[in-house]
Amino acid sequence: MTSIALTSAPVTTLDVDALIVGITDEGKKHVEGPPALPDDVRVSLEKALEALGANGKLGEITRVPGTGLVKARMIVAVGLGDVRILDLEKVRRTVGAALRSLAGTKSVGIVVTSPDGPRVEAIAMGALLGNYAFHAFRGASASSQQAPVLKILITGAPKNKEQSAALDRAVVIAEAVNYARDLVNTPPSALPPEEIAQQAIEAVGKLPVRVEVWDEDALARDEFGGILAVGQGSANPPRLIRLEYSPKGAKKTVALVGKGVTFDSGGLSLKPPKAMETMKCDMSGAAAVIAAVTALARMKAKVNVIGWIPTVENMPGGHAQRPGDVITIYGGRTVEVLNTDAEGRLILADALVAASEEQPDLIVDAATLTGAQIIALGDRTSGIMSNDDDLQAAIYETAKRAGETMWHMPIPEESRGTLDSPIADIKNIGDGKGGMLSAAAFLREFVPEGQPWAHLDIAGPAFNEGGPYGYTPKGGTGAAVRTFIQVAEDVAQGQLP
Ligand code: BES
Ligand code: ZN
Ligand code: ZN
């Protein structure tokens, strides 16, 4: 476990292996901000950087020996680019990349040059997210892995209440994101629906969060037909999980819903092998709900938070649902299932109806719902859809503040039209065009009119198949965790819906 703390120890004598300092690209390879480094050290460092050809452009990382300058063995100069346009997300990304580049180093100091709370929070967040590694399933190769940095000290910021609160907040949120990443990275054999439920119970631990789990009998009794239909093709039975955090005095309620398909083979509408390789990530929405509810309880947020997690394994076993089957979603609507690979919407439909019954102030769901999301927005931008345009715009702002890239997508009337079934209330696939939008149109059918609801399609952003960048590792990213937390906080503040 990595420790992180603020220190008032002088930068020059700080006892760490590496010292991270920000440099800007304004002409003279300026070491950013005056107060933290003594003038003579700063001037010498700038000379060394100049000799090495460092130019301070955003994301650049240059190592300089600490000898003669500071006690730390090395100084790692990270380029911040033009500081006049330096936003907090750039800080998070730069610090994240710097920390990852230091894997294998034991202790790291980070010099803060603009010592306000948001900057400290961004630095800590970037550091903890960038420092993430997942080695739980390595055997013989475990010992050859570079361990994450063990100790992070933030220096140069005053150790007052504002800074400490900023640091605490960053720690809770980053731990939540990293926890979600762990769940996503865990192989699907180790994380069937029953184990997701177990994880939820363990994650909330002694926190004031109530956990309720529907097993297959309870699901049948209460007629959760979507979850049962998708789950029936697997030897691992489905579950529905409800988490409730209701602190004293909270006036508003937000429901967070997450798709929890522990493995998506496609079912009888089987996916090709390549497309299946990453399908352990199909429970990323579920991971985000568990992580966010846990974090909000740890932060003692003043808002009621209800987490809903329908979780299944989508498999083509002998009892699997067939294309052509008609199933009945919780609440009574019927769905003609023409493609068993469009399973997320079936289990989410059950959960959205259940969540709506309690009439929360806002429902937000997150789901790795469609490949079409990746075609439309790429793999770093999630889609936001909603039954209310103003809410959609507000969620965009909330996500951005939380550091997550998302973009507004419509639910056009014609996409609902393509879902008309000749024999049931609705069918589960459209005409193949605008697949992200018709999936949202399907979900919207299960949210009553007047119930504020937003849907986040995180299919691409949930899992990074490419190399690591900024604070984002390869594999599970923890997408939607920070947005969920920020959404709940905004609801608490009356800023949402
Ligand atoms: N889990 C997939 C969506 C997905 C694709 C997530 C790639 C992450 C990366 C989802 O269940 C699915 O298979 N959707 C189908 C729907 C189609 C059959 C209407 C899709 O997008 O192809
Ligand atoms: Zn699918
Ligand atoms: Zn899926």
pLDDT at 413 exceeding the cut of 90: yes
Q: Looking at the whole model, is its pTM more than 0.85?
A: yes
| Distance of CA 469 from the midpoint of ligand 1 (Å) | 25
**Between the ranges 136-145, 153-162, 447-456, where is the mean pLDDT highest?**
447-456
Q: How far apart are CA 442 and CA 31, in angstroms?
A: 53
From the alpha carbon of 339, which atom of ligand 1 is closest? 18
Work out the average pLDDT over 173-177. 98
Rounded-to-integer distance, Cα 33 and Cα 36, Å: 7
Q: Which of 413, 395, 394 is nearest to 457 (CA)?
A: 395
pLDDT for 24 equals: 85
| Domains, in order of start, for the chain | 3-135+144-155 (3.40.220.10), 178-492 (3.40.630.10)
HSE of 4, CA atoms in CB hemisphere, 13 A: 27
Is 271 known to be catalytic? yes
Token duo for residue 158: 């005053």
State the catalytic residue, choosing from 73, 271, 302, 474.
271
* Identity of the residue numbered 415: S
Lowest mean pLDDT among 19-33, 72-86, 124-138: 19-33
What percent of the chain shows pLDDT beyond 70? 98
Q: Looking at residue 34, what is its pLDDT?
A: 45
Is the separation of the CB atoms in 487 and 496 below 8 Å? yes
* Ligand 1 atom 3 nearest Cα: 370
Residue-wise pLDDT tens digits, 204-237: 999 999 999 999 999 999 999 999 999 999 999 9
**Which ligand 1 atom is nearest residue 275's CA?**
7
| Alpha-carbon distance values, 418 to 50, 375, 428, 446 (Å) | 62, 20, 10, 16
How confident is the model over 328-363, as pLDDT tens digits? 999 999 999 999 999 999 999 999 999 999 999 999
Phi, psi torsion values for 384, nearest 5 degrees: -110, 125
Task: Give tens-digit pLDDT for 119-141.
Answer: 999 999 999 999 999 999 999 99
Strands (E), 156-269: 210-214, 239-245, 253-258, 260-264
pLDDT at 29: 52
CA distances from 87 to 53, 122, 123 (A): 25, 10, 12
Q: Is the pLDDT of residue 58 over 60?
A: yes
Q: Which positions ≥6 away from 458 have C-beta within 8 Å?
A: 284, 285, 288, 366, 367, 368, 369, 373, 382, 479, 480
With the C-alpha atoms ordered 305, 497, 346, 326, is the resulting torsion angle positive or negative?
Answer: positive
Residue 30: which of 120, 113, 119, 123 has the closest Cα?
A: 113
Q: What is the mean pLDDT of residues 71-94?
A: 91
In the reported structure, the alpha carbon of residue 19 is separated from the centroid of ligand 1 by a whole-number distance in angstroms of 44
* Site to substitute for ligand 1 among 341, 343, 377, 380, most atoms within 8 A of C-beta: 341
Neighbours of 198 (CB within 10 A): 15
Give 32's pLDDT tier (boundaries 50, 70, 90).
low
Residues whose CB is less than 8 angstroms from the CB of residue 362 and which lie 6 or more positions away in sequence, other chains included:
253, 254, 255, 391, 452, 453, 454, 487, 491, 496, 497
Phi and psi at residue 205, in whole multiples of 5°?
45, -120
Asked if the model's pLDDT at residue 465 lies above 50, the reply is yes
The position carrying tokens 């009892």 is: 319
Distance 493 CA to ligand 1 centre (A): 35
Ligand 1 neighbours by CB, cut-off 6 Å: 264, 282, 339, 341-344, 368-372, 429, 435, 459
Joined together, the tokens standing for residue 466 give 């490419």
Q: Which atom of ligand 1 is nearest to the CA of 428?
A: 19
133: CA distance to ligand 2 center in Å?
28
- Ligand 1 pocket test, candidate residues 339, 365, 370, most atoms within 8 A of CB: 370
Average pLDDT over all residues of the chain? 95
Tokens of 374: 């990746």
Check residue 303 and give its pLDDT. Answer: 98
pLDDT at 35 over 70: no
3-state secondary structure of 153: strand
Mean pLDDT for 427-452 is 98
**Bigger pLDDT: 257 vs 9:** 257
Asked about 345 being catalytic, the answer comes back as: yes
Reduced to 3 states (helix: H, G, I; strand: E, B; else coil), residue 380 is: coil
Going from the Cα of 61 to the center of ligand 2, the distance in angstroms, rounded, reads 40
Please check whether residue 293 is in contact with residue 481, taking contact to mean a CB–CB distance below 8 angstroms: no
